Structure 1
């Protein structure tokens, strides 16, 4: 009789786990605990990570583009004259980098990225200060996150410092596209894809790391105005042990249909919730994770009168936002001395709704590279609107505004700070 693999049902699996040797049970728990650190075994091979910046070749365009006026910029629609690219192979590592005129990519129909989504990307910006100096904002954080994302899906990693040097050279070449007006910038999009020609499922033997750039203004067409969110329970963005913490294109496409549905009901974005047991009560709750394209912060006054700035913890389902990290650091440095409590903890919609009904929900805002910060006016949840503390006629709360001013002050060189890196 032919044998077959029989999958144990969940209940049987739990019973079996209880009877395993302690070391085996501990190993299983360890695997779950470290699921967010998954990466290909050779992802950090120093020989394959090296980039020779001195080998950079530049071919300038012979047909420079016109500059799009600031008032006509739509996020991600206008692009600069050039692109930067580096090819990688499993035998030779990173080949010499090139800057060429912006052009189409040529890929075989069997290229693995087209079939199995071997793709990770980053979002960062170049800013021009009042003196005309070009600056980057915490580019080391972007490099670290991109390497982590790439390693998670068996794509090659790279020397982050060397790639920052290349991005600086790319920005110098494209400097005329960087707007001089505050609130505008050059959005930089590094993207890495698996390029091996195969229908087999396995780690790509070749890859392409390319960078394009786009002059941008405010992310939302409404400008710096409060947005509305739909708390989404019918779809899930990420789950424990998954890839929610990685910046992969595969995390974004499945979110478009729920976003379209939310927009059809009058909301700007989804607020992604995750149903789970509250360990304190043993009841199921809808825990807040993040907004469609942003991390989420809430300013809540506790019943004891203490004001708290809270955001969800990095548990593997939350993207490690660069602006998120910056807000937390600035808050601990500048708000804690004012009596604020700053927390990375799980919190659920019922907690926010209760605080709102009691007048203790002071502000809610999103954060991200594209939008920097975005104030939230209301959240649609279970057929009701949860007000987020903004008075009628006001578009931004005090803490949201202070965070925006602090971060933009650093980005545009108004405050001397190590996070602002001159190009």
Structure 2
């Protein structure tokens, strides 16, 4: 029997009762990913403020190194918040992760430059970014476990697609904000103080997201497991002992998608500006259009995986990305219009793989370890392959090895394609509750 929110039995239609749950989860993802993406998008503008060096490239590489280091703590965030979500409920984990993100954004917004306080400036920036890593590590498992448990099995793909719609929309919002600032402010103003506005906005948006999430009910699946005196064991040891294969599968599900997303969405404005030679405004506009196309496709692919199965659609998307990534990436210097067309092709393949990856991850684990089972391997894949993407792409570009980076992206997408092709089909089936 489908799991529905508590209000569904009081006269509301199931679809109406689900709307606040989907809206709250999606808006929370938008806020979280706006905050997470702002750092990479605005890095070229504040890099020399925190890491003065002999060249702009050296400052940017140092800033991207902090970006990569912040991913190191994401697995820890996945474990801590995933365990909390499995032990105490999905809602408390929601609230804690978004509150931590708000605090870290506020710290970055007000931290003085290196010229003012010396080494304390990069130390505060790094500390704040590490806190963001903890927060981001806990966001995805809590959201995925919450929403997939609350919706009917027959529509799980469709509703879970709103999680990555929120991911794309959050990055889009950050990119649009960058576009607006690049138009309204001069390059000097944007570099001097304009970039701080993005972090101020992120901190405020988090508080709004927290308000929404405090109103969400706990899922029936969690309440059922939590009230059992002889319930199944929880925690990291239980996860690794009982579900090692599922942990490896979730890592493989995400290695291609995470590096492709950070390449074509988060890092793309910088890449188009520094490597291709576009103006800042053109780079932001091209990336914004790409993200609109990406986000708009999520419900469509989610619906199609409910109807035709997860495996064929997600595998086709991953293999399509593996084939397209190198030729698309090396042809982006043909002008903004061609760049938009090529990136929309690549981002469509990515949408096919990411629309229902939250559902696929949740389908691998029972309720007692679901959030932790999603959080740890997802964060490991993101830390290893997403967090290093901007740094690796920038460094290889500086060495004249642009094609080598995109070949690496293609290889990881092919690995993800094999993982999707060989997974068990779970479309329409109930989630395990132990």
TM range (shorter): under 0.3
Give me the TM-score of the superposition, normalised by structure 1.
0.26
Q: Which has the higher contact order (CA 8 A, sep 6+)?
A: 2
Higher strand share: 1
Greater radius of gyration (CA): 1
Give me the TM-score of the superposition, normalised by structure 2.
0.25
